[in-house]
Amino acid sequence: MKILITAGPTYERIDPVRFIGNYSSGKMGFALAETCLAKGHEVILIAGPVKLTLSHPNLKRIDVESAQQMYEAVMENFPTCNGAIFCAAVADFTPETVATTKIKREKDDLVIRLKPTHDIAAAAGAIKQDNQFMVGFALETNEEEAHALDKMRRKRLDFIVLNSLNDKEACFGYDTNKITIYKASGEKLEYPLKPKVEVAQDILTQIEML
Ligand code: C5P
C-alpha cells in the first residue's frame, strides 16, 4: 500500500521570530512511518517541524511548517494513496495577520486575533473514496470516549486512536504510549502501555484488517 502519514506539530507564525506551537514531538508518526516501511508499504510522510530523521527508499518526506502548508500537502497527495493516518497535532487556530517586523514591547498588553485553520482530516474525509482508509488520533482531557467517537464520525475515519493525557508516560515527548482504538464498526480495543514502535505495529495490524 501507499500510506500518507501526518506527524508532529505545526507552527503558526506571529511575527518573523515567533510562533504558536505545541509539544508534539512527532515520535508516534515517525514510528508509524518506520513500521509501515518495514512491512513493505510506501509512505508519504508529511511532517511539521520536528527533530527526527528517517531514511528509506520507499519514503517520500515532505516537511512543512504551518497548518495551511500541511493541508495543501495532504490535499495534493491523499488522492494518490490507499489511505492516511492523521497523527499530526495541527493548530486549530492561526494568527489572522502576521506582523512583518518583530512585535515590540510597547504596550501593556498584546492581543493576537486568531482565525480557524482547516481541519485536515475532515477535509480529506470529504474527498475520501470508498477504497481509501483513514485513521485519526484523539487526545482528550475529559469525556474521552464521547469526544473520540464524535471525531471519528465527523472526520469519516475507519478508526480513531485515543491517547489519554491522564496516562503517565503516554503522549507528548515520551517513547511510550497507551492507546484505545475505537472502530467505526463499533469495536473497542484497549492496549497496555508500550513503546511507540509496538503501538505503531498494533495500529498497522488493525489497518491491514480493514
Ligand atoms: O479535533 P481534533 O484536533 O482533536 O482531532 C484530532 C485528529 O484530527 C487527529 O487525527 C489530527 O491529526 C486531526 N486534525 C487535523 N487537522 C486539524 C486538527 C486535527 O488533521 N486542523
Give tens-digit pLDDT for 46-105.
999 999 999 999 999 999 999 999 999 999 999 999 999 999 999 999 999 999 999 998
151 ligand 1 Cβ < 6 A: yes
Is pLDDT above 70 for 168?
no
User: What is residue 119's three-state secondary structure?
Assistant: coil
> From residue 72, how far is each of 43, 117, 132 by CA, in Å?
17, 12, 19
Give the separation between CA 190 and CA 22, rounded to whole angstroms.
Answer: 27
Q: What share of the chain is helix, strand, coil (3-state, %, to 5)?
A: 30, 30, 45
**What is the helix (H) or strand (E) element at residue 147, kind and residue range?**
helix 144-154
The structure's pTM equals 0.96
Distance in Å, CA 126 to ligand 1 centroid: 14
Whether 22 is catalytic is: yes
Residue 84 grid cell: 492516511
32 ligand 1 Cβ < 6 A: no
Residue to substitute in 77, 85, 90 for testing ligand 1 pocket (most ligand atoms within 8 angstroms of CB): 90
Nearest CA to ligand 1 atom 9: 137
- Residue that has been written with the C-alpha cell 488522492 in this structure: 79
Is pLDDT above 70 for 167?
no
Distance in Å, CA 118 to ligand 1 centroid: 9
Minimal CA–CA distance to 82: which of 147, 2, 194, 151?
2
Is pLDDT above 70 for 171?
no
Is pLDDT above 70 for 23?
yes
Give the separation between CA 138 and CA 145, rounded to whole angstroms.
Answer: 10
Q: What's the whole-number mean pLDDT along residues 169-174?
A: 69
Residue to substitute in 32, 127, 137 for testing ligand 1 pocket (most ligand atoms within 8 angstroms of CB): 137
Is pLDDT above 90 for 173?
no
pLDDT at 140: 86
**What is the helix (H) or strand (E) element at residue 59, kind and residue range?**
strand 59-63
Q: Which of 22, 77, 82, 163 is catalytic?
A: 22
Give the separation between CA 155 and CA 152, rounded to whole angstroms.
Answer: 6
92 ligand 1 Cβ < 6 A: yes
